[in-house]
């Protein structure tokens, strides 16, 4: 799963590429370039005249959660997963995701993401997946939610990256899913149009932007005895 990612594009360039302005909550924000769960990251949401660059926590806290750290993993939202009684469940049928997927969309700009590979050509390594150029900006579909701490009144806005089945290349390298990437045109549709959950599901299934991945080993997995280094 995509538990970590990087965004190395300078903010002025990011605003230009995504036709965005900086939201109030991000004017003096301090976001991470290398993002991991519960770190702050720059994400894009829709707006009336311009898209908004906002500062959000990576790892979605559902509005109904009793705690700021749910007991389940919530930094990725699978389009499809195994539900109860081994029946396939779509993202909009899951309690955590149905409201955000219906109307609380965001786009997560990134230049690379990281996966732990235990099978495939890069087994035993945490692998960096980037675009054709190290500076290529990839736009991942995401969802967000707001959670209120009842004791302090603090409001935390957080997000998750939507994932789907991997391409044959990614599967060969050694991972079983990947972020849903969108073109700039389809990212704007995701941010600023209204559709039913079923229509949004079909939209993401049918409009994923292909990526010519550049792959490199980031570091070896802890406790892994056999290192598989493509570049050795």
- Ordered by start, the domain boundaries in the chain are 4-220
For the sheet containing 112-117, what is the strand order?
Answer: 34-35, 4-6, 112-117, 125-130, 214-220
* CB 105 within 8 Å of CB 162: no
Average pLDDT of the residues in 200-229? 83
pLDDT in tens, 24-82: 878 777 888 899 999 999 999 998 888 999 999 999 999 999 999 888 889 999 999 87
pLDDT in tens, 145-187: 999 999 899 999 999 999 999 989 988 998 888 999 999 999 9
| Residue entry with tokens 């550049």 | 214
Q: What is the CATH number of domain 4-220?
A: 3.90.1680.10
199 exposure class (CB count in 10 Å sphere: 0-12, 13-18, 19+): exposed
Identify the band that residue 227 occupies on the pLDDT scale cut at 50, 70 and 90.
very low
CA–CA gap between residue 115 and residue 105 (Å, rounded): 24
Q: State how beta strands 88-90 and 80-82 pair.
A: antiparallel
């Amino acid at each position: 799963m995509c538990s970590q990612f990087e965004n190395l594009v300078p903010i002025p360039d990011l605003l230009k590429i995504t036709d965005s302005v900086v939201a109030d909550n991000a004017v003096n924000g301090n976001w991470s370039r290398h993002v991991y769960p519960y770190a702050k990251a720059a994400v894009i949401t829709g707006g009336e005249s311009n898209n908004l660059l906002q500062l959000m926590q990576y790892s979605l806290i559902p509005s109904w959660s009793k705690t700021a750290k749910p007991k389940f993993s919530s930094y990725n939202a699978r389009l499809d997963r195994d539900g109860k009684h081994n029946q396939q469940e779509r993202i909009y049928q899951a309690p955590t995701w149905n409201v955000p997927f219906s109307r609380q969309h965001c786009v997560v700009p990134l230049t690379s993401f990281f996966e732990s590979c235990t099978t495939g050509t890069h087994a035993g390594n945490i692998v960096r997946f980037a675009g054709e150029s190290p500076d290529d900006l990839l736009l991942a579909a995401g969802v967000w939610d707001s959670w209120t701490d009842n004791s302090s009144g603090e409001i935390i806005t957080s997000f998750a990256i939507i994932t789907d089945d991997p391409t044959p290349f990614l599967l060969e390298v050694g991972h079983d899913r990947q972020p849903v990437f969108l073109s700039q045109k389809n990212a704007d549709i995701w941010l600023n149009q209204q559709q039913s959950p079923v229509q949004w599901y079909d939209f993401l299934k049918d409009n994923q932007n292909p990526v010519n991945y550049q792959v490199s080993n980031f570091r070896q997995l802890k406790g892994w005895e056999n290192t598989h280094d493509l570049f050795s």
